[in-house]
Amino acid sequence: MTERSNTTDGAPGAMVAVTDLHRTYGSGAAAVHALTGAAFEVARGELVAVRGRSGAGKTTLLNLVGGLDSPDRGRVVVDGTDLAELGAEELLELRRDRIGFVFQDFGLIPILTAAENVGIPLRLRRTDPAERDERVALLLALVGLADHADQRPTELSGGQQQRVAIARALANRPSLLIADEPTGQLDAGTGLSVMELLRSAVRSEGVTALVATHDPQLLDLADRVLELRDGRVTAQ
C-alpha 5: how far from chain center: 22
Do residues 231 and 57 lie in contact, with contact meaning Cβ atoms separated by under 8 Å?
yes
Per the DSSP assignment, residues forming a β-bridge with 123 are none
Encode the chain (236 residues) as per-residue pLDDT tens digits: 333 333 344 455 799 999 999 999 988 888 888 999 999 999 999 999 999 887 788 999 999 999 999 999 999 999 999 999 999 999 999 999 999 999 888 889 999 999 999 999 999 999 999 999 999 999 999 999 999 999 999 999 999 999 999 999 999 999 999 999 888 888 888 888 888 888 888 888 889 999 998 877 778 889 999 999 888 888 66
**pLDDT tens for each residue of 51-108:** 988 778 899 999 999 999 999 999 999 999 999 999 999 999 999 999 999 988 888 9
Which residue, among 141, 146, 151, 145, has the nearest Cα to 111 in the 3D structure?
A: 151
Q: Is 26 left (phi over 0), alpha (psi -120 to 50) or beta?
A: left
Do residues 24 and 72 lie in contact, with contact meaning Cβ atoms separated by under 8 Å?
yes
pTM for the model: 0.88
CA distance 121 to 170: 9
Angle at which helix 158-170 crosses helix 129-142, to 10 degrees, equals: 130
